[in-house]
Structure 1
Amino acid sequence: MTLLDAPQYNEKRAKLVRNLSIAALVIVLVGGFCTFWFWNWPAEHRINNFMAVVESGDFAKGFAEWNRDPNWQKHPQQYSAYDFDQFQKDWGPMSEYGKIRSHKLLMAKSVGNGTVVGMVINGDTAHPLFLRVDNKTKTIGFSPVELYVGP
């Protein structure tokens, strides 16, 4: 085949290829943006659910959310390192925050094999709290890492 024997230009096919290429590019860009934007959403959702239970005052259910074990009362010895009594001291009305009435998530960042979520409790912006959600077990714990929240 030579240049003079080239196939005839098909305008309909060219528009189809162009439109499909643009659509594929848009889908890849939107998918990438959504992945970036919602990457930490599962951890944020877990923390929000946990805090809603704590705010309601149901500490037994809160401890179940913390450990991701709804049947924790059947085997409390499994949680001897951080037991229910210590949990109530940290999250109950006598905690350093008092009765927890509200929370606001400030940020979330993947760190190692977990996600660190920074939040403000009862509007106390001077002392943000950082919790960590393990990516594999989905359990919640206090984070050894504190994120910079800005001035």
Structure 2
Amino acid sequence: MSLLDAPAYNARRENLNRNLLIAGGVLILLFVVLTLAGFMLGHGWLFSNLSTEHKVNTFFDALEAKDYSKAYGIYNNDPNWQQHPDKYSGYSLNRFTEDWTIDSPVKGPVLSHHVDISKTDGTGTFGTGIIVAVRVNGDHKVFMYVNRADGTMTWPAPHELQYN
């Protein structure tokens, strides 16, 4: 094939190639923006911690409603914990209720809360756990640790987050 035998110009094909390049560039840019925005806003890379933040929010909603049985199930990541309470004999519902009322980190019952930020903690790409910062009763900061492997919660978290 020589230069004189070159294929004819196909405008549709050139438009398709240009549009695919533009769409690819926009998708890459959107991915970069979402990745950085999630991290900078305190919700994990690509907002990967949002489901955990929602879980902690549901936990504190149950504490506000004084539904300690539901909160206990969320804390242990076992909504059917009542079917096998002997599994949790080391940390019973009564002790849990005392810990979140009488011996609460906010020195009383939970009346209001707001999930502020979360950070990945531990090793690996997405860490072994997530620390979720919650502002309780307006001025008390509580840091909950959620284990990624089994979804259970722990208080206090191994680290406290610095934020305003």
- TM-score scaled to structure 1, two decimals? 0.85
Matches of 2:10 and 2:113 in 1, distance apart?
Answer: 61
Cα offsets for 1:21-75 (capped at 9, x unmatched): 2112323433454463421111101101111111100101110111111222233
Q: How many residues in Structure 1 have an aligned counterpart in Structure 2? A: 148
Which range is displaced more, 111-120 or 134-143?
A: 134-143
Which range is displaced more, 106-115 or 83-92?
A: 83-92
Q: Compute the displacement of 1:91 (Å).
A: 1.3
Q: Compute the displacement of 1:102 (Å).
A: 1.0
Q: How does 1:1-150 map to 2 (within 5 A)?
A: 1-34=1-34, 36-92=45-101, 95-97=104-106, 98-112=108-122, 113-124=128-139, 127-142=140-155, 143-150=157-164
Q: Which runs of 5+ in 2 are unaligned?
A: 36-44, 123-127
Percent of pairs with identical residues? 40
Is 1:103–1:119's contact at 8 Å kept on the other side of the alignment? yes
Is 1:106–1:149's contact at 8 Å kept on the other side of the alignment? no
Is 1:115–1:133's contact at 8 Å kept on the other side of the alignment? yes
Q: Compute the displacement of 1:128 (Å).
A: 1.4
Q: Which runs of 5+ in 1 are unaligned?
A: none
Is 2:105–2:142's contact at 8 Å kept on the other side of the alignment? no
Q: Compute the displacement of 1:137 (Å).
A: 1.3
